[in-house]
Amino acid sequence: MGGPSRTPSEAFAAFEEALRIIRLFWSGERAINFAGRFYSVHGLHPGPAPAHRIGIWIGAYKPRMLRLIGRLADGWIPPLSSYAPPEGMPAMQHSIDESAQAEGRAPGEIRRIYNLVGDIKDGPTRGLLQGPVVYWVETLTHFALDLGFDTFVFWPSTDPIHQTERFAQEIVPAVRTAVERARTSSVKAG
């Protein structure tokens, strides 16, 4: 497509510079300046500021990108769960949180969405995100309370309309209730 060929390290640095310029562009300043290794702007007049904050969400799971998310992003969307399985989440979340705190940001400012690939199936649980409603409710409640996710995107493996209806009608309300109940009881206990 005519773009420059960059090493992974260069691509990362260029991406970080681009994020910083985007933030400046939306800052409401009359003129912005940025001098980077890959991108520079001098006296750019970006026009009116957006009517509301525009969030920047990053989908990544490698350490350098996780630290960047903590420094600059509004949200994190790890790749589909086979690339970022639940057991790896605490370390990834910790990396984002540490980086956010080092930047003077509250980690809670960063939204966290987890992609869920699976099927809601009556009967026994057959593996990660392959099982009955009660299993899904327990698992997603764990993902919210213990792994720190505040939003889920469901990708049904089969029968998308029926699966999505079941997710919306049976699982979402039950997870919301379970999470709210657990958070309320921990506040009362504390």
pLDDT recorded at residue 190:
65
Question: Which domain covers residue 163, as residue numbers?
Answer: 56-189
CA angle 78, 75, 82 (to 5 degrees): 10
What is the rounded average pLDDT for all residues in the chain? Answer: 93
Query: Do 36 and 86 lie in a common domain?
Result: no
pTM of the predicted model as reported, rounded to 2 decimal places: 0.85
Closest CA to 69 of 39, 35, 101: 101
* C-beta of residue 146 within 8 angstroms of C-beta of residue 140: no
pLDDT at position 159, please? 96
Axis crossing angle, helix 133-145 with helix 172-189, rounded to the nearest 10 = 40
We report the CATH number of the domain holding residue 173 as 3.20.20.30
In contact, 19 and 36? CB cutoff 8 Å: no
Give the pLDDT confidence of 140-162 residue by residue, as tens digits.
999 999 999 999 999 999 999 99
Separation of alpha carbons 126 and 118, rounded Å: 10
d(CA 61, CA 81) in angstroms, rounded, equals 11
Confidence check: pLDDT of 82 > 70: no
On whether both 97 and 184 belong to a single domain, the answer is yes
User: Is the model's pLDDT at 109 over the cut of 80?
Assistant: yes
Same domain for 86 and 42? no
Over residues 174-187, the pLDDT tens digits come to 999 999 999 998 77
Which are the contacts of 146, defined by CB distance < 8 A and separation ≥ 6? none
Q: Are residues 63 and 36 in the same domain?
A: no
Residues 60 and 138 in one domain: yes
Let me know whether 60 and 41 are in one domain: no
Task: Tell whether 68 and 148 lie within a shared domain.
Answer: yes
Q: Find tokens 């996780």 and name the residue.
A: 66
Are residues 76 and 150 both part of a single domain? Answer: yes
Residue 31 has pLDDT above 70, yes or no: yes
Q: Tens digit of pLDDT for each residue in 59-71?
A: 999 999 999 999 9
119-144 residue pLDDT tens: 999 999 999 999 999 999 999 999 99
Residues 6+ apart with CB under 8 A from 58: 65, 68, 69, 73, 75, 76, 77
- Rounded to the nearest angstrom, the gap between the alpha carbon of residue 74 and the centroid of all alpha carbons in its chain is 8
- The phi and psi torsions of 116 (rounded to 5 degrees) equal -120, 120
What is the number of domains present in the chain? 2
State whether 148 and 184 are in the same domain.
Answer: yes
Are 73 and 66 in contact by the 8 Å Cβ rule? The answer is: no
The predicted pLDDT at position 8 comes to: 93
Q: By three-state DSSP, how is residue 60 classified?
A: coil
Q: How confident is residue 81, by pLDDT bands cut at 50, 70 and 90?
A: low
Residues 140 and 89 in one domain: yes
Q: Which residues are paired to 151 by β-bridges?
A: 113
Chain centroid to CA 18: how far? 19
